[in-house]
Amino acid sequence: MSTAAVAFPASLAEELAHHLAEYADAGRTGLVFVGARGGVLRRNNSRRIWLRALAATGLGDVHFHDLRHTGNTLAATGGASTRELMHRMGHSSVRAALIHQHLVNGRAHVIADYVDGQIRKMKRPPRDPSGT
């Protein structure tokens, strides 16, 4: 990988497609990040490769694990359930999945508005003038 600035296509989808075409293994089960010889990244050299990639793109202080967090947070904001997040992350407890759902908490207003709308749709029975 060169240390020159990388020119990215206009959209995130195009960027991902470019990366997969240039650097990743083919197929659904192909590796997204591969070593210099096309193999699995090894623990002893993955950090060096990651830091070189950060320098080349100018992203600064981004941790590799941030990719996992971002992916799962985006899945949560896209509507993934706690169970689906647990499956994606390979966890058996809900704790980690709930951490990634912290951005979804803004849905409380959407849910409240929906409930309010449903209540307003219901016809209210006329009140008895006697109060009974």
- Where are the chain's structural domains? 7-61, 63-121
Residues 100 and 71: their CA atoms lie apart, in Å, by 9
Q: Can you give the pLDDT at residue 3?
A: 38
CB 22 within 8 A of CB 34: no
Residues 62 and 64: their CA atoms lie apart, in Å, by 7
User: What tokens were used for 84?
Assistant: 């689906």
- Residue 98: name the closest of 73, 122, 120, 115 by CA: 73
Burial class (CB in 10 A: 0-12, 13-18, 19+), 79: exposed
Q: Can you give the pLDDT at residue 130?
A: 67
The identity of residue 65, as a single letter, is H
Query: Model pTM?
Result: 0.49
Per-residue pLDDT tens digits of the chain, which is 132 residues long: 333 444 444 576 787 788 888 878 888 888 887 777 777 878 777 788 888 888 888 888 888 888 888 888 878 877 888 888 889 888 888 887 777 676 566 666 776 777 777 877 876 666 666 665
